[in-house]
Structure 1
Amino acid sequence: MPLSHISQFSFLVPGNYDDDNPAKGIGETLRLIELGETLGYSCALVRQRHLERGISSAATFLAAASQRTKTIGLGTAVIQLGYENPFRLAEDLATVDVLSGGRLNVGVSVGPPPFAHLIADYVDDAPQADYSHGRAEKLARALQSHSLSERQESGNAAGTQIPRLRPIAKGLSDRLWYGGGSQNSAHWAGRTGFNLLTGNIVSGEDTDDFPTAQAALITRFRHEWAHTRPARVALGRVILPTDNASAATRKRYVDFVASRTERTKSAHGPRRTLFLPDIIGTHADILEQLSRDPVVPLVSEFRLELPYEFQPEDYAQIIADFAGLFPASVNSRPALLSAS
């Protein structure tokens, strides 16, 4: 079985909602995470999206999720750091990690984010913004909660204390993940100690073959890893199981996959971006397709990625059907993306 070696399974939710009733959509996404915990998933991750109908504040959303779940890991995939103040973001994430009992995993990316030009007036120094990996390094450094002064300082609280980022979220800096698609990203993540998230989009660089490019990415990351804890890679795939879908739903899934197939036939743009085809079908179909994926044997952590703009009942059906592919021993294993 192609997934028999996978020890940890997660799913990634888009967090869709309607503008006229955002509370309904956000509540449905929270219930989906609760369902994922019941089904035995190790972790639920949420996309962070700005100026769109989706979760714009992952930390706030996951704080709520932490109070409605007990065991499932919670994560982001990914927070675009171009919009963020690393120190303030670190404070928010540390608070969520403490609220969740150490279940948080933080996936980030750098580079110019979408819509950056539209919010320049709201972001300090936006025209000169730093979109380098250094922004992620600042986040990691802040989460380590080192003292920021050699002496006691007076603040708003009674008395004096050593100033440092609080609350202190022990181990969270080891649960940082980078959404990387290029050799440069893999090199940086391995050297700096960020775990690696990779999905159905990579940079082709020296090849137009997606599996070859992704396998090279993972190999580079592990080669560059220079830390005592194990190097970790979580692999994502868009998968649409149809075992318990209605005939109408199956047709919508087929049409959706067909609408995205053309982009997988060639490299795109100056970065030679490659896309992997979505996977659709019954359990048997899915297992057959995954058995032909040469990247799956290279990882032990797997992420089911849910498409944008589906209905809540679609998402529930997809994660329930996919849970039927878990090896029998997965439910007794540690939470996905938790600290090693």
Structure 2
Amino acid sequence: MKKIGFLSFGHWTASPQSGTQSAADTLLQSIDLAVEAERLGVDGAYFRVHHFARQLASPFPLLAAVGARTKTIEIGTGVIDMRYENPHYMAEDAGAADLIAGGRLQLGISRGSPEQVIEGWRHFGYEPREGESDAEMGRRHAQVFYDLLRGEGFAKPNPRPMFPNPPGLLRLEPFSEGLRDRIWWGAASNATAVWAAKLGMNLQSSTLKEDETGEPFHVQQAKQIRAYRAAWKEAGHTRTPRVSVSRSIFALVNDYDRAYFGRNAESADSVGYIEPTMRAIFGRSYAGEPDVLVEQLKQDEAIAEADTVLLTVPNQLGVAYNAHVLESILKYVAPGLGWR
């Protein structure tokens, strides 16, 4: 059994072929798709965060809106770039959104991906410390945020406050109990997956990772997950961690599916440089008749290791078509794999 969610990058473009012509279209359709996905029985609605791009960016207004419109579906991110974040303000936003959703937030965070602009985090007011890389700054922000979610007091109260204070040091409010156990780290390497395990975060492994061995993507990703779980066990955490992988999977069940994705039926892994010094391997897309997909996906070692699969959706094709994409996986593919 696996949880199945969708992951939307939230693109929009003013093109006649796009179902999302504006940011408003993308935001409102994201809410509508989450509502429809919940009705279909999808387990999670996840959203990508990219700054300086015509894509979803500030996640918490959207997460809160989805939380207010739904009742059961998990609501998450994949991922928030922590190089851009004020951990204290983020802790308040996350606590508020989680309370609105009734404790359903599943926040994926990371040090971020290649950007639209040069050192965009500087425009948000953040600078690495002396001798610190931007990736290290992102991990530092993540640790501060993660620690704040313990809900422990740390700030000395004003002796003459505007409103009465509880006794002792003060914490950030609103505080949402249990949110700390629902933080995920988006790891591109084995080392950062192990780092996240030691801290106690869940693991999000995406459709790309650092090419560390030259093996097929799903094999490298499965090894990353095993290394993460071994580090988790060694750290002595008492709860069972969650692990997700993201995949582009399209069941070809009608002519629209074949027109949109039939050409991807022979997709393969690809390799490229996402930073000057980082060689990355990108996982293949899956597209085919349902019985073919079932056999292909049975060979994916990383999917076998994960408890959650996030299906990337072509959000610019509209809510109705994306609901069809999700329903096709639930109806024709998931049962054959034992996911349902």
2:329 to 314, 317, 322: 322
- 1:251 has 2:259 as partner: yes
Aligned residue for 2:279? 272
In 2, Cα distance between the equivalents of 1:156 and 1:67? 33
Deviation at 1:317, TM superposition (A): 1.8
Is residue 199 from structure 1 mapped to residue 203 from structure 2 by the alignment?
Answer: no
Change (3 A) 1:278 1:35: same
Distance (Å, rounded) in 2 between the aligned partners of 1:52 and 1:301 = 28
Identity of aligned residues (%): 28
**Matched residue type, 2:64:** A
Q: Which of 127, 131, 136 matches 2:135?
A: 131
Aligned match for 2:3, one of 8, 14, 39: 8
Aligned twin of 1:334: none
Cα deviation digits, residues 251-297 of structure 1 (max 9, x gap): 22134677xx47x2445463321111100022212111111212222
Q: Is the 8 A contact 2:157 2:170 kept in 1?
A: yes
Q: How does 1:187-336 map to 2 (within 5 A)?
A: 187-225=194-232, 226=235, 227-243=237-253, 245=254, 247-255=255-263, 261=267, 264-266=269-271, 268=273, 270-307=277-314, 309-324=316-331, 325-327=333-335
Say if 1:211 and 1:294, in contact at 8 Å, map to a contact too.
yes
Aligned residues: 320
1:160 maps to amino acid? N
| Preserved CA contact (<8 Å) 1:43 1:74 | yes
Per-residue displacement from partner, 1:206-230 (whole Å, max 9, x unpaired)?
A: 2332222112101110111121111
Contact 2:32 2:319 (C-alpha < 8 Å) held by counterparts? no
Provide closer, same or farther for how the CA distance between residues 152 and 83 of structure 1 changes in structure 2, counting only shifts above 3 A.
closer
1:146 aligns with 2:152: yes
| Aligned CA-pair RMSD | 2.6
Q: Which residue of 2 aligns with 1:71?
A: 72
Q: 1:154 to 1:306 in 2, by over 3 A?
A: farther
Give yes or no for contact 1:12–1:303 (8 Å, CA) kept in 2.
yes
Contact persistence 1:205–1:271 (CA under 8 A): no
**Cα–Cα, structure 1 residues 25 and 265, in superposed 2: closer, same or farther, change >3 Å?**
closer
2:168 matches 1:160 = no
Matched, 1:179 2:186: yes
Kept after mapping to 2: 8 A contact 1:13/1:47:
yes
Q: TM-score with structure 2 length normalisation?
A: 0.85
* Whole-angstrom CA distance in 1 between matches of 2:339 and 2:257: 29
Supply the AA of the counterpart residue of 2:12.
Y
Q: Per-residue deviation at 1:304? A: 1.3
CA distance in 1, matches of 2:160, 2:315: 45
Q: Distance in 2 between matches of 1:120 and 1:235?
A: 27
Residue aligned with 1:148, SS: coil
Gaps of 5+ in 1: 1-5, 332-340
For 1:155 and 1:296, the matched residues in 2 are separated by 56
Aligned counterparts of 2:318 and 2:265: Cα–Cα separation in 1:
16
Instruction: Please identify, of 233-242 and 69-78, the stretch whose mean Cα deviation from structure 2 is larger.
Output: 233-242
- In structure 1, C-alpha distance between the alignment counterparts of 2:135 and 2:278, rounded to whole Å: 17
Instruction: Find the aligned partners of 1:174 and 1:43 in 2 and give their Cα distance.
Output: 16
Q: What's the offset of the Cα at 1:81?
A: 0.7
Higher RCO by CA contacts (8 Å cutoff, separation 6 or greater): 1
Q: 1:337 — aligned with what?
A: none
